[in-house]
A and B are shown apart, each in its own frame.
Chain A
Amino acid sequence: MTRELFDKKLREMQDDVLIMGSMVEKAVQRSMDALRTRDVARSDAVIREDQAINAKRYEIEEKCIHTIALQQPMAADLRVLVAVLFIATELERMADHAEGIARINLMLGDEPLPAIIGDIGEMADKAGDMLRRSLTAFVERDERAARLICDEDDQVDTLYDSSYLALIQEMIRVPADVPRLTYLIWTCHNLERIADRVTNICERVIFMVTGQLEEINVSRY
């Protein structure tokens, strides 16, 4: 007895998660590039394209529900589908954070970026890297990699701390820049939340492999 049709559906859903993951990664990168270069048109594009990410999430969700209803998956298969459902939701929320960064760029208007911007570039790179590797861990059912990525959330939290401190100090030094610097703190917060959601994805990868639901790394924020 084999389940060719079912296995094909599982593979398709896994591919959908990867496609959605790359859409989200691209959204985060583009929102940050737009902010760095103050490119309003690019931010508009990120906001517009968030609709496609939302649609992808619902498409994945619908496929999962149909597969659960029609194929009655059990054990590891069921865990994969539950993980896919959850990961799609997390990715969609990450894209919302990218959209939030894009909107911050629009709110900055014609103002240039402040001289001090903290470590937001490094935060974005780190979060993007964690996201990419978490999806590789998902595809490869790599529990160990998932646990290591969870640990790396501390690095993003540390970058958040240093950025927050630098931006607050700059606010004290140049009170006129408080509005612009506040926008940057919001940006840091969005990036920090993206990394947190990567750890949620990793927790689901671990669940998928082991069947154990556990909170791996509680973010400081």
Chain B
Amino acid sequence: MSGTLLAETIVREPRAVAARPIAIGANVQRDETAARDVRLRARQLSVRYGTALAISDVSLDVHDRAITAIIGPSGCGKSTLLRVFNRMNDLIPNARCEGRVEMDGVDILGSDIDVVKLRRHVGMVFQKPNPFPMSIYDNVTYGPRQHGVRGKSKLDGIVEQCLKRAALWDEVKDRLRAPAMGMSGGQQQRLCIARALAVEPNVILMDEPCSALDPRATLKVEDLMTDLARDYTIVIVTHNMQQAARVSHYTAFMLAGEERVGRLVEFGLTEAMFTAPTDKRTEDYITGRFG
């Protein structure tokens, strides 16, 4: 989807996007990362819960059709950052964002953004598989129906396409009317991915998507992510550094200091981050010598 189209669909009322210079953080925009288009552009982003600053001054580019992993110890603000990208933090009372997050030139933090539409473009998969207590078929069609898609053949087509895309079709095609809760954990998580795909997002956010899965199911989801990255922009939060190293193209390392405010320490190509990080704190974390 082009930037203009996207802007028209997520902004409540079409408006001219003010052209203003954007300061670029020193820790982003390494030469080798400039090759891909940028899908999400966070600049001087800070998030507060009430008076407490959760993350501060994060400037980060999320590249189009690539997997960006956000790693860091517990409490460093990585999930907070992820939730900014589809405004899930709006659901938390007193959560407040400062700075700017652009998607295709539009500041998605703006008050004129229709967050329901935004979340259609920026889907999310959670840590624990959370299928709705309904059939496999209804899980996948739930989103499209909410967005007004009608007609059995059209919905059937969406179900087949999304389940195939989520590498689940062959396993469930004969039991589409069976309850989703009866599936294995790995299947449930792939169903959640299929459900996210059904509303045709551009970006898929994944918050620890494999932490509740066994190694085999984890690898299936990782394979699926790699496959999806050809068409979608994926941002994954993970505690599993091996997973970040295996699947992602870019890695962002966040860390909270003693004041417990999460900051972006280093961002770059995953290969470089895991073989020769430039910041000592990144080095200490990924070699297991942190804290």
Which A residues are closer than 8 A to B by beta carbons? 1-3, 6, 72-79, 210-212
When distances are taken between beta carbons in the complex, the residues of chain B under 8 Å from A72 are 242
CB-based contact B289/A78 at 8 Å: no
CB-based contact A211/B275 at 8 Å: yes
Known: A72-B242, A74-B241, A74-B245. A79 touches B275 (CB 8 A): yes
When distances are taken between beta carbons in the complex, the residues of chain B under 8 Å from A79 are 275-276
Is B104 located at the chain interface by the 8 A CB criterion? no
Segment from B179-187, B221-229, B280-288 that makes contact with A: B280-288
When distances are taken between beta carbons in the complex, the residues of chain B under 8 Å from A3 are 287-289
**Which residue of A is nearest B245, CB measured?**
A74
User: In the complex, which of the residues B283, B288, B290 has the most CB atoms of chain A within 10 Å of its own CB atom?
Assistant: B288
When distances are taken between beta carbons in the complex, the residues of chain A under 8 Å from B126 are none
Q: Report the bound CA distance from A73 to B287 in whole Å.
A: 6
Is B201 located at the chain interface by the 8 A CB criterion? no
CB-based contact A75/B290 at 8 Å: no
The range of chain B's interface size is: 10 to 19
CB-based contact B287/A75 at 8 Å: yes
**Which residue of B is nearest A3, CB measured?**
B288
- Return the CB mask of B215-244 against A: 1 if under 8 Å, else 0: 000000000000000000000000001100
CB-based contact B286/A75 at 8 Å: yes
When distances are taken between beta carbons in the complex, the residues of chain B under 8 Å from A211 are 272, 275-276
Q: How far is the CB of A95 from chain B (nearest CB, A)?
A: 30
When distances are taken between beta carbons in the complex, the residues of chain A under 8 Å from B245 are 74
Question: Contact partner of B276 among A2, A6, A73, A75, CB < 8 A?
Answer: A75
**Which residue of B is nearest A7, CB measured?**
B289
Q: How far is the CB of B251 from chain A (nearest CB, A)?
A: 11
Q: Report the bound CA distance from A75 to B280 in whole Å.
A: 11
Q: How far is the CB of A14 from chain B (nearest CB, A)?
A: 16
Q: Report the bound CA distance from A78 to B277 in whole Å.
A: 12
**Contacts A72-B242, A76-B283, A79-B276 supplied; 11 other A-B pairs, CB < 8 Å:** A1-B290, A2-B289, A3-B287, A3-B289, A73-B287, A74-B274, A75-B283, A75-B286, A78-B274, A211-B275, A211-B276
When distances are taken between beta carbons in the complex, the residues of chain A under 8 Å from B276 are 75-76, 79, 210-212
The contact sample of 8 A-B pairs, CB cut-off 8 A, is: A74-B245, A74-B275, A75-B275, A75-B276, A75-B282, A76-B276, A78-B274, A211-B272
CB-based contact A1/B288 at 8 Å: yes
Q: Report the bound CA distance from A3 to B290 in whole Å.
A: 10
**Which residue of B is nearest A78, CB measured?**
B275
Q: How far is the CB of A75 from chain B (nearest CB, A)?
A: 5
CB-based contact A75/B291 at 8 Å: no
User: In the complex, which of the residues B276, B283, B291 has the most CB atoms of chain A within 10 Å of its own CB atom?
Assistant: B276
**Which residue of B is nearest A207, CB measured?**
B276
List of 4 A-B pairs having minimum Cβ-Cβ separation, nearest first: A211-B276, A74-B286, A3-B288, A77-B287
CB-based contact A1/B275 at 8 Å: no
**Which residue of B is nearest A77, CB measured?**
B287
Q: How far is the CB of A79 from chain B (nearest CB, A)?
A: 7
Q: How far is the CB of B192 from chain A (nearest CB, A)?
A: 28
CB-based contact B277/A75 at 8 Å: yes
Q: How far is the CB of B72 from chain A (nearest CB, A)?
A: 13
In chain B, positions 247-275 with a C-beta closer than 8 Å to chain A are: 272, 274-275
When distances are taken between beta carbons in the complex, the residues of chain B under 8 Å from A210 are 276
Q: Report the bound CA distance from A76 to B289 in whole Å.
A: 11
Q: Report the bound CA distance from A21 to B82 in whole Å.
A: 50
Q: Report the bound CA distance from A77 to B241 in whole Å.
A: 15
